Chains A and B, each alone.
Chain A
């Protein structure tokens, strides 16, 4: 179940929607079968000011994510930090922990799209939306038979090239540290978190430019 999440830049002169359609059409041309939809969402929490130390220590951001692939699980991640996998009751717990973690307003970012099965490959093309507006496209490719991601990396890359063309990404950082580690669902979520952060930053840059 080696897996890679990458971002597809929006094609020149086209809307996000159109680019997604382009991709899905390509996939269908390849012979991939549609298999329902998927959804990954992410909510950002920052540590409450009251619990911070006095030495000007900045609060870490915590991301609480859900993946429709793991319907009963809830993931809580820190950047570069540990990843907690819990059941969905974790959301209820977060409400109780208001004093320690405060939800960042309008920070909910999610990607929704269609799931395609192409032989052993599982491809998910999603539109990343933040609030009402579409911000980008996410492409997830999973190779089912392999549990060690680095072993099937080149295979995945090749497959990605076949329909992403020149936009093929480099190896994700997750694989860098651990070469032979068995791929876990948390790794997927880390990749999604990084992708979402990248898209958020992209969105902030033009705002700065206007100023």
Chain B
């Protein structure tokens, strides 16, 4: 039995406690039906706190058959209410029929602010009657009666006061456990005692050392009022002793009551696990003085068992109360009887549970198979349910109508786009149902049947007028239905696509008629023809093939799918969606209550006082057709540019032309970087780098030095420009080469005004002199005329030089003489720059 005592410091004089007990709580003593209750136990606290163990004192009072009991004692504070762990000094008048409960308890905690100890009155903040984990309670009716007064002066040994009292009781009463409870006051001196910290230990506290580390010890000064409750000896021991007689009448452990002189004991709530640790608990809650405590405990328990064994043996030897007989086999079954009974009952109940489970499982499998069957059968209603998940349906009269229009997405197309849901009944029930049978069918309007697409193409020449308006049917195979998706889904999707294509075409043709352009757009039947550039024709046509087989096959063969501009077709779809979104957003989107939420510039037009013209300029927006024509123009311009560059690159090997196309494009703008280099001389010949920004109507060429040239859509213009750049490149390359070779540049001109006139661009020329000045090379390069290279020799090397009258002296022999043309095509070397390098090195004096 562990003896806990609790302390609290009264605010006034030491006699305050008694005073309070008697006056405030209608308690005049601690007598009358006294009981000791052991609630919970140390195992709930150690090694880890079991936070489920919470108790209510009112209930405990009822459990010990003393409702309205006056309870004093010690325990752990109700962390369930407080939110932290604490020591608890119980002083409670519990609830009874004619009295409300009163809680006069105190709790001591570790002060979170400074780590000191803090005593607080429980009822000041809380109004429940809880306690937790463990409590040693002394309960009485609160009647006046005889009590024992113990007066002590000084500590003489290692044992503390309560242990002394307990041992005294034990000595006097011997085997009989006698409980004692009450209050004592320490009037003078100091006491070392512990308080549990606010947090439960997160790691298990397995040894006394751990526990002492966890606990917080404080020295407390008198006066202190203590509420000890203890029992003289372990009642378990008595129980063990009782077991020795093997008396048949011994009841279950929990119900066992041990009579004590004067004091009735009731072991409410004392679990068996609590019993086992009692001895340890006793030690734990005394400040451990001796390191061999646990060893001693084990020895003691061993001793107890030995004693019991010794007692049993002695009793057996007397043969007065007990004899040892060989156990007969027959005797066994009745002994096992309760166990077998238990086993049988367990078996029965398990069987019952199993039956219920099996039944449930059977039902589940049944319903699952039914479901699967249903799926196979695909009844009309479930199909309808699935249809409703994807499409808008409504009931009109006895018909079910659906909506496949884009109206809810912002479309303004007047077509209703309604379809009717019908029950597919034309099936012979006796015959085997085909795989793709669907009890639900949809009837779409006849004009939305089949498949349709918008076809955008660019043609070079205008077709014959006879060709105009012919339905260029290009029959695409119906898209195969995705596995798992029902038949109606593909049907409806196709119909919706037809609707959207029709809307796009309607919008385009409306715009084509409205827009005033220089060359009017032509709308014939299902074709819109526009001329973005001269001799170029953009045709947008709506191809709608109904499912009937009448459509002639010849037309389908004629149409080659290559001239499709899939990008534009896709962009048309994107544009119409954008258009939908615009109409939707201006009406539906969340907006301030005072005004619609329009374009930003529109919103600013008020505060910035725009006049009518400015507002008009904001409002005019580009239509679908204009946008798509612009895109088509851009695409055409881009492909034409690419073709021109590729053509040049393949045709002309020297110099090389490289094009680096940018991956990131806008629908109206893309760019390409063109480099003109000579093979093998890429490092020194970097003069020509062009950035071509391809727009809608024109190409802007940004030269490396920042010059900007604007070219029109005509491919020839770009080609001429590139050719002139290439010819310039050669001369630039000579210049760079001269720098490397140490030759001097005598003259340089990008645009020579002399010589034959080039049809495109200008010829450029350079003259370089060898390092020692003996030779000079003159290069003239024109885009059309090609290159002409002349070399000037010193006079002394010219044989056929006519004798001059003026230059008689031999010193003039070092003057440079006339130019001679180099037969360039007979020069060795793979390209112009290489040839030039060879020429230069040949004319340079040998340095060796």
Contact across chains for B606 and A87 when beta carbons are under 8 A apart: yes
Contact across chains for B607 and A85 when beta carbons are under 8 A apart: yes
A173 at interface, CB cutoff 8 A: no
Q: How far is the CA of A85 from the CA of B604 in the complex (A)?
A: 11
B608 at interface, CB cutoff 8 A: yes
Contact across chains for A70 and B603 when beta carbons are under 8 A apart: no
Residues of B587-605 whose CB lies within 8 A of A: 594-595, 602-603, 605
* Given A87-B595, A92-B594, A185-B609, A71:B615 Cβ within 8 A: yes
* Given A87-B595, A89-B594, A92-B594, A69:B606 Cβ within 8 A: no
Residue of B nearest to A69 (CB): B611
Q: How far is the CA of A70 from the CA of B610 in the complex (A)?
A: 6
Q: How far is the CB of B449 from chain A (nearest CB, A)?
A: 48
Contacts of A73 in B (CB 8 A): 605-610
Q: How far is the CA of A86 from the CA of B595 in the complex (A)?
A: 13
Q: Pick from A72, A86, A87, A184 the residue with the most CB of B within 10 Å.
A: A72
Contacts of B602 in A (CB 8 A): 72
Which 7 pairs of residues, A with B, have the shortest CB-CB distance? Answer: A87-B606, A185-B609, A72-B606, A73-B609, A70-B609, A72-B605, A89-B594
Residues of B198-218 whose CB lies within 8 A of A: none
Q: Pick from A86, A87, A89, A186 the residue with the most CB of B within 10 Å.
A: A87
* Given A87-B595, A87-B603, A89-B595, A186:B615 Cβ within 8 A: no
Residues of A21-77 whose CB lies within 8 A of B: 69-75
Q: Pick from B594, B595, B609, B615 the residue with the most CB of A within 10 Å.
A: B609
Contacts of A89 in B (CB 8 A): 594-595, 606
B651 at interface, CB cutoff 8 A: no
User: Can you pick out 20 interface pairs between chain A and chain B where the beta carbons lie within 8 Å of each other?
Assistant: A69-B611, A69-B612, A70-B611, A71-B612, A72-B610, A72-B615, A73-B605, A73-B607, A73-B608, A73-B609, A73-B610, A75-B609, A85-B607, A86-B606, A87-B603, A87-B606, A87-B607, A89-B594, A89-B606, A184-B609
Contact across chains for B594 and A85 when beta carbons are under 8 A apart: no
Contacts of A70 in B (CB 8 A): 609-611
Q: How far is the CB of A67 from chain B (nearest CB, A)?
A: 8
Contact across chains for A86 and B607 when beta carbons are under 8 A apart: yes
Residue of B nearest to A36 (CB): B612
Residues of B that sit less than 8 Å from A by CB:
594-595, 602-603, 605-612, 615
Residue of A nearest to B605 (CB): A72
Interface contacts beyond A69-B611, A71-B615, A88-B606: sample of 10 additional A-B pairs, CB < 8 Å, sorted by A: A69-B612, A70-B610, A73-B605, A73-B606, A73-B608, A73-B609, A85-B607, A89-B595, A92-B594, A185-B611
Residues of A130-164 whose CB lies within 8 A of B: none
Residue of A nearest to B603 (CB): A87
Contacts of A184 in B (CB 8 A): 609
Q: How far is the CB of B615 from chain A (nearest CB, A)?
A: 7
Residue of A nearest to B606 (CB): A87
Contact across chains for B611 and A85 when beta carbons are under 8 A apart: no
For the complex, would chain A's binding face be called helix, strand, loop or mixed by DSSP majority? mixed
Residues of A161-210 whose CB lies within 8 A of B: 184-186
Residue of B nearest to A89 (CB): B594
Residue of B nearest to A87 (CB): B606
Q: How far is the CB of A83 from chain B (nearest CB, A)?
A: 10
Q: How far is the CA of A165 from the CA of B609 in the complex (A)?
A: 33
Q: How far is the CB of A138 from chain B (nearest CB, A)?
A: 19
Q: How far is the CA of A124 from the CA of B537 in the complex (A)?
A: 49
Q: How far is the CA of A74 from the CA of B607 in the complex (A)?
A: 8
Residue of B nearest to A184 (CB): B609
Contacts of B594 in A (CB 8 A): 89, 92
Q: How far is the CB of A144 from chain B (nearest CB, A)?
A: 11
Q: How far is the CB of A87 from chain B (nearest CB, A)?
A: 2
Q: How far is the CA of A120 from the CA of B594 in the complex (A)?
A: 38
Q: How far is the CA of A69 from the CA of B594 in the complex (A)?
A: 23
Contacts of A75 in B (CB 8 A): 609
Contacts of A87 in B (CB 8 A): 595, 603, 605-607
Q: How far is the CA of A87 from the CA of B602 in the complex (A)?
A: 10
Contacts of A88 in B (CB 8 A): 606
Contacts of B606 in A (CB 8 A): 72-74, 85-89
Q: How far is the CA of A72 from the CA of B607 in the complex (A)?
A: 8
Q: How far is the CA of A74 from the CA of B606 in the complex (A)?
A: 7
Contacts of B612 in A (CB 8 A): 69, 71
Contact across chains for A85 and B609 when beta carbons are under 8 A apart: yes
Contacts of B610 in A (CB 8 A): 70, 72-73
Q: How far is the CA of A69 from the CA of B615 in the complex (A)?
A: 11
Q: How far is the CB of B401 from chain A (nearest CB, A)?
A: 42
Q: How far is the CB of A88 from chain B (nearest CB, A)?
A: 6
Q: How far is the CB of B654 from chain A (nearest CB, A)?
A: 57
Q: How far is the CB of B485 from chain A (nearest CB, A)?
A: 50
Contact across chains for B608 and A85 when beta carbons are under 8 A apart: yes
Residue of B nearest to A186 (CB): B609
Q: Pick from B602, B605, B611 the residue with the most CB of A within 10 Å.
A: B611
Q: How far is the CA of A94 from the CA of B657 in the complex (A)?
A: 69
Contacts of A69 in B (CB 8 A): 611-612
Residue of A nearest to B594 (CB): A89
Q: How far is the CA of A85 from the CA of B608 in the complex (A)?
A: 7
Q: How far is the CA of A72 from the CA of B610 in the complex (A)?
A: 7
Q: How far is the CA of A71 from the CA of B595 in the complex (A)?
A: 15
Q: How far is the CB of A172 from chain B (nearest CB, A)?
A: 18
Q: How far is the CB of A20 from chain B (nearest CB, A)?
A: 23
Q: How far is the CA of A73 from the CA of B606 in the complex (A)?
A: 4
